[in-house]
Amino acid sequence: MSRISPITEVMSPDEILSMYKERQSSTANVPSTPETEPNTEEQPSPQQTAAPSSPSSETEPSSGVQQTDSNSQSDEKMIVDEAWMRKWYDIFNAKYWDSQLPKNIAFETNNSSRTWGRASYSFSRRNGWCQGPLFNFKITLSNYNESPENIKKTTLLHEMIHIADYVFHPEHFIYNGRKVSRRAYDAHGPVFFLKEAERLKKDGWEIQKYVSQEEKAASQISAHNREILNNRMSNAVAAVLVYTNHKFIVKTDMEALNSLLAHIEQYWSYFRANGLTRIDCYKAHSDWFNSQRSCRTRLRGWRCDTEDDFKQKFNKWYFDEFPFKTINIYHT
């Protein structure tokens, strides 16, 4: 059966609000024990790396709520906790969605440097067919950065728009027994997201598809994550996998290096068959390279097909002249 694209009618902001007031919540009759699959929508973070082949680049909870105006401005930077998220979710739900969004939503914080926020849902799959309604809604906000409270609220509203889309238009995500692909429906596009953002703009909120340069400039890495990052940088290791016809650079650290070597040892035969001859471990002195995520089992990194390519990266990231450790792979 061919896939049919979901409805693509563009509604005005006032029509959207009117729809909320007329419709009942679609989450009442959710199956209790279905086979489920999660899905997420993310607000990208400024910490993502530019090169496609490169690796991607818990604090003490604080409610941080000192003001009652939902759109108040403050330059004081903060992190959030689940109590703060629930409080402002309820306020925004009542103010902008006529309390029609689900009240039993889950909240979570993490320390992701890749995304500032994420909205997720689950759906049922029986006998190969996707079924609605959507359920198990959750919003996750990152505390990787400390930001003014207004930016945290803006991020929360961004994710609430996704929740509204899940609740009132599940056909945008599960349609005709199939999961709708991102090519068929852009969850940040004009059908729903941009219209909601325009509606909230009337109240002074600047809800954008991506984190703005102003939001980045007004935020800074939290003290806890700065400590983690400094430790990662000071213990950085460049593990160079030397194959017969190329080299592969993996960013790891002193602690993760043992796990990485154990992972490679577990699959000796595979690496031997692909021509791995040795692993050279270098200390690097580039802040950018050293700040990248450290690999433990997944081999993310940079492939160098020529010696010139390797030397360029070797010099760019200031590797020591000689490796401090070499592991030879003996062919059998």
Residue 265 falls within a domain, yes or no? yes
Are the C-beta atoms of 198 and 32 separated by less than 8 Å?
Answer: no
Q: Which residues, including other chains, have CB under 8 Å from residue 66's CB and lie 6 or more apart?
A: 74, 149
* 120: β partners: 40, 138
Residue 286 falls within a domain, yes or no? yes
Residue 47 falls within a domain, yes or no? yes
Residue 253 falls within a domain, yes or no? yes
CA distance 184 to 3: 10
Residue 257 falls within a domain, yes or no? yes
CA distance 142 to 240: 32
**Residue 89: half-sphere exposure toward Cβ, Cα within 13 Å:** 29
Residue 258 falls within a domain, yes or no? yes
Nearest to 166 by CA among 53, 30, 330, 305: 30
Asked whether residue 21 falls in the same domain as residue 156, the answer is yes
Helix residue ranges per DSSP H, 78-192: 82-96, 149-168
Asked whether residue 198 falls in the same domain as residue 248, the answer is no
CA distance 16 to 162: 14
For residue 294, what are the domain limits?
Answer: 235-328
Residue 297 falls within a domain, yes or no? yes
Asked whether residue 218 falls in the same domain as residue 245, the answer is no
Asked whether residue 18 falls in the same domain as residue 62, the answer is yes
Asked whether residue 214 falls in the same domain as residue 252, the answer is no
Asked whether residue 214 falls in the same domain as residue 263, the answer is no
Residue 6 falls within a domain, yes or no? no
Please identify, among 196, 224, 252, the residue that sits at the C-terminal boundary of a domain: 224
Asked whether residue 161 falls in the same domain as residue 270, the answer is no
Asked whether residue 188 falls in the same domain as residue 295, the answer is no
Asked whether residue 122 falls in the same domain as residue 271, the answer is no
Are the C-beta atoms of 169 and 163 separated by less than 8 Å?
Answer: no
What is the total count of domains within the chain? 2
> Cα-flanking dihedrals φ and ψ of residue 106, to 5°?
-95, 150
Are the C-beta atoms of 26 and 167 separated by less than 8 Å?
Answer: yes
Alpha carbon separation from 115 to 37, 112, 212, 324 (Å, rounded): 21, 6, 13, 35
Tallying the residues shown for the chain, one arrives at: 332
Asked whether residue 137 falls in the same domain as residue 247, the answer is no
pLDDT in 10s for each residue of the chain, 332 residues: 333 444 445 555 556 556 555 654 443 443 333 444 566 665 654 333 333 233 333 323 333 333 345 665 667 999 999 999 999 999 999 999 999 999 999 999 999 888 999 999 999 998 889 887 899 999 999 999 999 999 999 999 999 999 999 999 999 999 989 999 989 999 999 999 999 999 999 999 999 999 998 999 999 989 888 888 888 888 999 999 999 999 999 999 988 898 988 888 888 888 888 899 999 999 999 999 998 888 988 889 999 999 999 999 999 999 999 999 998 876 44
CA distance 87 to 152: 13
Asked whether residue 148 falls in the same domain as residue 113, the answer is yes
Joined together, the tokens standing for residue 300 give: 């993310």
Please identify, among 200, 224, 248, the residue that sits at the C-terminal boundary of a domain: 224
Asked whether residue 211 falls in the same domain as residue 284, the answer is no
Are the C-beta atoms of 119 and 139 separated by less than 8 Å?
Answer: yes
